[in-house]
Each structure stands twice: as C-alpha cells, then as structure tokens.
Amino acid sequence: MQMKKWLYTLLVIVLAACSNEIPEQQPAKRSGRTVLAYLISNNAGTSLDNDLRNNVIDMYTALGNMKESCTLLVFYRPYTGDAPLSKPTLMSFYADGRGNINNVAALTGSELTFDAVCRIAQKKEYTMNSQIATDPVVMEEVFTDMQTVAPSDSYGLILGSHASGWMKGTSVPTKAFGDDDGYNIDIPDLADVLKNSFSEKLDFVLFDACMMGTAEVGYELRETTSYCIASVMETPVYGFPYDQILPYLYSENVDYSAVCHEFMSFNKTNNLWGTCAVMDCSQMENLASAVKAKLSEWQDALSSVSMRNVQQYGVNSYKYFSYDVLDFFRELGRKSGIVKTTDLNEAIASVQSALNQAVIAKDCLSGVDYDFDGLVIDGTRFCGIGMYIPKEVNDYVPDNISWNNWNDYYKQSISWYRAAGWADLNLN
C-alpha cells in the first residue's frame, strides 16, 4: 500500500512537471499576428455603444470559426459604465482553431450575446478616475498591457470610435480620433502614442471611424504602421463586418483587396454607402514628393482652380476637408492649359504612379444609388484617398465654416503640409 502511494505521488509530480499550462503572469509568446482592438463607446452626442458591442460579437464569431489558433485583445471603453462592463476593460480571447475560445466551446445562436462574450473573456479593469481613453498616457498603458498579456511576433490594431481625420478636435467642431465624453486625440499625438508603445511597426492600423483615409493621416503614421486601412468618407455606424474580415487580418499576407471588397459588399447589402482604401505607409514619402513636384510646377494655376469640379468626400461642416488627390491634379492640369485627356494623363503620370504604390487596395460604392446626404462618389475619379487643399479662395469655403482654424492647425501641426510642398507656395 505504501509503495502504491509513493508511485501515485511520483506520477502526479511527473505529470505536473510535463504540463504545458503557462502561468498567467508569464504568457507564452505566440507565433503569427495578434489582433488588438481599442474601442471607445462613451461618446458625447451619438453613442456607438450598441454598434461597437455588435462589432465585438462579430469578432468573437470570427474567432469561433477560425481553423488555426489566434489571439484577440479588446480594450472596451463602455458608455457611462453600463453593464456588463462597469469600467474600461481589457478583454482577452484565445481561439484554439477547433471551435473553442478561452477553453470553452464558442457561443452560438441565442447564447451569443455581448454579456455572454464579456463573461467568457479574461479581463483586466481600469479605474482611470478622471482620465479618459483618448489620453496618451492611458493609451500607452493599455497598449503595454496588451503586449504583456499576449507577447506576439507582430500586431495589427483596430481603432473604433467617432473620428474626423487629421482635424484638431478642440479648435473646430470635430473629433480627430476617438470620442470619450467629448475628448479625443489628435493624429500627431496618436502617432506618438503608437511609436512609444510598440518597439516594431504595427502590421496595420484599421480605422473603424469616419474620414481617416487621407494622405495626411497615412503620412503621419508612416513610422508606426506598415499599412493603414480607412475610409475617406464618413462611415456607417455598423462599422466593418468583422465576422467576414477578421480571418483575413490574421493571414500572414493580408489580402487587403478582399478586406475592402467585403466592407463594400456589406454596405451594399445593407443599402448604405462607403469607400475603403489601404495605404502602404512606407510609400507616403514618395507620394508627398510627387505631389510637391507637381504643385511647384503648376502653382501659377492654383488661384484659378474651381474646387467644385473636384471630387470631395465630406458633407455638411466637413464638406471642404478632403478632396481626391488625383482628381485635384486633373483639375489643376486643366487650369494649367492642358486640354487633351491623353496629354493630361501623361502630365499627371508621376502622381498616378506614386498613388499606385501608396494605395495598394481600394473599393467604393459609386453612383446615385449610394448617395450619402447629397454626396455621390464617382468611381472613375476615386483614387482611394483624399487630401486637404489649404488654398484660400472664396469659391469653395462658405462664410459659416471656420476654415482659418483648419488652415492654422494644418500649417502648424500636420507633417503633410510641408512634405507635400504647400509651405513652399507661401499661401496666406
């Protein structure tokens, strides 16, 4: 009997020593890419809480259908502390590729609710007190925690909330990126946060937020991410169809064209509108150089350009914030005296070539069937991204728009302003 007890004890010790269970404080580094999501639903005015909850459910659904193991971390800033998350919370999900998430069979059907998903998640809560989710200190803390919880070969980041592109959120009625009870983070500050938080470039940053698909944003992020996925338009509140696109985002070589296509197919099915493009941020310097050279060559024609002839991407107070990069140069070329289409295409070939390298995927819903509050996209003039035109003319900026605020901030803080050559033109 004593011998049996001794053998049993020895067996337990051996099995424990051979166990592959990783202590919680020392997670194993996972091969491949880990996807991170930073979602802010505590929005002033129009809350995205219900829509972002549905996004999390869709992400969870995708994980349950994955055929390979993968990791998803979601930081969720809830709307005024509503249940089931009373505080900002980092949720971790580990899918084994066999239908299990966090060692439990993936939820389906009526059991698949946001509350249930939150219960299954491994969680860390943040008190934050008076701090906000768009505070650079808070963001860096969360991104550091994410990497501690899930060490990985590489990361891709989804940023979901309200947004308004490069525009400073406190100087004009805009949101920059994020809206935590009216507070946001400007894009240069966001670029610094990402640079400080990650030792290597992110594989991608996906903006599930309005109007981030601009040259200004892509250029600002060139040192922090390899690719930027975004829409130059306002985006429908439903966001991206994560149950469809998340598997692509885990692929070693992401099919970015498929991501754009799935997004537009989803919007089309739901009678919505939209654009989507993917910028190769390593090519943004080259694009800036091409834009700068052409602006310098045709600067005398700037004053005669009618911006009404250029495809633009905003509505209401955002109507003048972003114009199609290539379509702008088509109009500028015409004002420079180029009449024939073949001659014009040849004249703007340098910008077109740079765009071909910088915009690696794009898709849009074009035509009057996809009218958004009076804005109709012409697919034949859609290059994928837009840019602001900081020239002071009275033919496209009405008196009720504080465009001087836009120009002042643009000149002082947005790197694209100098890189693209606007500063060299001595515009007032």
Question: What tokens were used for 364?
Answer: 């849009």
Q: Which domain holds residue 220?
A: 30-282
Residue 104 shares a structural domain with residue 233 = yes
Beta bridge partners of 387: 323
- Does residue 9 form part of some domain? no
Angle between helices 284-297 and 349-358 (to 10 degrees): 160
Residue 293 vs residues 338, 342, 412, 419, 425: alpha-carbon distances, Å: 17, 20, 21, 11, 11
Phi-psi region of 109 (alpha: psi -120 to 50; beta: other; left: phi over 0): left
pLDDT, position 101: 97
The mean predicted confidence, pLDDT, of the chain is: 89
- Does residue 1 form part of some domain? no
The long-range contacts involving 380-384, CB below 8 angstroms and separated by at least 24 positions, are 381/311, 381/324, 381/326, 381/327, 381/330, 382/275, 382/311, 382/324, 383/324, 383/325, 383/326, 383/327, 383/355, 383/359, 384/213, 384/232, 384/275, 384/277, 384/279, 384/355, 384/359
Residue 178 shares a structural domain with residue 301 = no
CB 427 within 8 A of CB 408: no
Global pTM value: 0.91
Domain end position, chosen among 248, 282, 316: 282
Residue 304 shares a structural domain with residue 190 = no
**Rg of the chain on CA atoms, in Å:** 24
Residue 336 shares a structural domain with residue 384 = yes
pLDDT, position 268: 98
Tens digits of residue pLDDT in 214-249: 999 999 999 999 999 999 999 999 999 999 999 999
pLDDT, position 153: 93
| pLDDT at position 20 over 60 | no
Determine the distance from the C-alpha atom of residue 373 to the mean position of all C-alpha atoms in its chain, rounded to a whole number: 23
Which CATH number does the domain housing residue 147 bear? 3.40.50
Tens digits of residue pLDDT in 281-332: 999 999 999 999 999 999 999 989 988 899 999 998 788 889 999 999 999 9
Domain end position, chosen among 245, 261, 282: 282
- Which pLDDT band holds residue 406 (cuts at 50, 70, 90)? confident
